[in-house]
A and B are shown apart, each in its own frame.
Chain A
Amino acid sequence: MTASLTIAGLHFAYPDGREVLHGVDLTVGDGERVALLGPNGAGKTTLVLHLNGILHAGSGSGAGTVDVAGLTVDPGDRARLAEIRRRVGIVFQDPDDQLFMPTVAEDVAFGPANLGLRGAELRERVDEALAAVDMAAHRDQVPHHLSFGQRRRVAVATVLAMRPEILVLDEPSSNLDPASRRELAEILRTLPVTVLMVTHDLPYALELCPRAVILDGGRIAADGKTVDLLSDPELMRGHRLELPFGFDPAFAAAQLRST
């Protein structure tokens, strides 16, 4: 299996001296879906912002490398950075940060238009991305007027329109009602891309990601099958992770296999 994402020895400290990452090593294979778990303050968001060079050694102090499908993130090489930003699609936690154009279709077109796509090709990208998240019927609406779940789906579409190698989702299920949460899961499961999903929603991680890693104290503390990690009570307690009341990961995983 070729690697979509390779992180090696990643260290990072913010300019104010807060050390967040202490040597993260992580490889995600092409087409894999991986959940990134960890308590608040573990460095999950900092790690995500490194994946496309928004944060890099130069924005604080750091070391290590991030490779995206063979391209090394290098803040000095702007052309390569642009290509990396196309390949790594980050869906931010708050869709209101990500949606800023007058209509849904224009918002989805924004990224590909920046890549230089025009006319029929651009329209095709927009239609494809909106169809993938089942929002084609809302293409001419104002993003601000959609429901929260719909806005999150449009945010996913804005990233899919770039045809990314790897989709990075920051807390995709947060603030969603159960029905929107399930609809988003159905969509994410059908997408033919590598997925790295940051989440506190452990049942969601189990449902969508066969593999999970636990980030704690700026290091990868555990890496394995999601069901195995969630079934290890000591590991979970040790990293301030908690399953919802009554949730049995082994039972849920068996249910997942049978469907």
Chain B
Amino acid sequence: MISLYRPGNSPLHRLPAGPKLLVVMAAALGISLTPPSPALLAGAAVAVTGAYLLAGLGAAEPARQAWRLRWLVLVVAVSQVFFLPALTVVANVVRVVVVILLANLITLTTPTGLLVDAIERALTPLRPLGVNPSRVALMLSMTITTIPVIAGFAAQIREAQRARGVPVAPLAFAVPLLIMTMKHADDLADALTARGID
């Protein structure tokens, strides 16, 4: 499980996962639909920073998160700068950054297990349509647990290649990674079957 979660006891930590997800989804929608007015977007940025402060994460945290997004910002900005007025480009960039910061705020203040539970509850009304909420939740949580395992495979392959002096070669990297991942998936399936899930 990737543990981006920072334990804490702020109002944002105590807010149940379901409502928190809903609020953030509504806020993200709102920000995406805001007209490109400098005042409104600056307000949104300030509000998000305020939320980080409320969560006890400090004012530097949103800045750090935004800095990590610099390449995404560059791609978004460059792809629009020739076609759109400067104000719109800035507005779009701010929107993207603010929405991502909001989403990160959920991960930082909610244990993943609770998020998965909230999603499972949200899917319960879909049961008559043939959706099995607990299976979807299991799939989600297994996806999340598998990410560090596969990242571990990737590191292992890179180390083995570096030890043999292999330069960065996408194919020589992707093929063993794919094979290890598929082998892991096979073994995981056996383990799931052995524990009573078909």
Q: Which residues of A contact B (CB under 8 A)?
A: 49, 52, 54, 78, 82, 85-86, 88-90, 92, 94, 96-103, 106, 110-111, 114-115, 142-145, 158-159, 162
B residues in contact (CB < 8 Å) with A:
1, 3, 111-113, 116, 141-142, 144-146, 148-149, 184, 187-188, 190-191, 193-198
A121 to B121 alpha-carbon distance, docked (Å) = 22
Are B196 and A115 within 8 A (Cβ)?
A: yes
Q: What is the count of residue pairs linking A and B with beta-carbon distances less than 8 angstroms?
A: 68
Overall SS of chain B's interface: helix
Assess the B190–A106 pair: CB atoms within 8 A.
Answer: no
Q: A92-B187, A144-B149 are in contact. Are A102 and B193 (CB under 8 A)?
A: no
10 interchain pairs (CB within 8 A)? Answer: A85-B195, A92-B190, A94-B187, A97-B188, A100-B142, A100-B191, A102-B113, A111-B195, A115-B196, A142-B3
List B contacts of A159 (CB < 8 A).
195
* A144 nearest in chain B by CB position: B148
- In the complex, what's the smallest C-beta–C-beta distance from B16 to chain A, in angstroms? 17
Q: Is the CB of A114 within 8 A of B196?
A: yes
In whole Å, how far is A147's beta carbon from the nearest beta carbon of chain B? Answer: 15
Q: Are B193 and A54 in contact (CB under 8 A)?
A: yes
Whether the Cβ atoms of B194 and A100 lie closer than 8 Å is no
Expressed in whole angstroms, the minimum distance between the Cβ of B179 and any Cβ of chain A is 15
**Chain A residues within an 8 Å CB radius of B194:** 52, 54, 85, 88-90, 92
When the two chains form their complex, are residues B196 and A101 in contact, meaning their CB atoms are under 8 A apart? no
Q: How far is the CA of A88 from the CA of B195 in the complex (A)?
A: 9
Query: In the docked arrangement, what's the CA distance between A102 and B142, Å?
Result: 9
Q: Determine the chain B residues whose CB is within 8 A of the CB of A145 once the complex forms.
A: 3
Tell me the nearest residue of chain A to B144, going by C-beta. A102
Q: Are B146 and A100 in contact (CB under 8 A)?
A: yes
CB distance from A142 to the nearest CB of B (A): 5
**Nearest chain B CB to A57 CB, angstrom units:** 17
Q: Do residues B191 and A97 form an inter-chain contact, with CB atoms below 8 A?
A: yes
Cross-interface CB contact of A144 among B1, B195, B196, cutoff 8 Å: B1
**Minimal beta-carbon separation of B120 from chain A (angstroms):** 13
A85-B195, A114-B195, A144-B149 known; A102+B187 contact, CB < 8 A: no
Question: Is the CB–CB distance between B1 and A158 below 8 Å?
Answer: no
Q: Are B112 and A102 in contact (CB-based, < 8 A)?
A: yes
Residue among B111, B145, B190, B198 making CB contact with A101, cutoff 8 Å? B145
Per the bound structure, the CA–CA distance linking A158 and B197 in Å amounts to 14
B197 engages A92 (CB within 8 Å): no
Q: What residue in chain A is nearest B146 (Cβ atoms)?
A: A100
Chain A residues near B149 (CB-CB < 8 A): 96, 144
B190–A54 touching, CB < 8 Å: yes
Are A101 and B141 in touch, CB under 8 angstroms?
yes
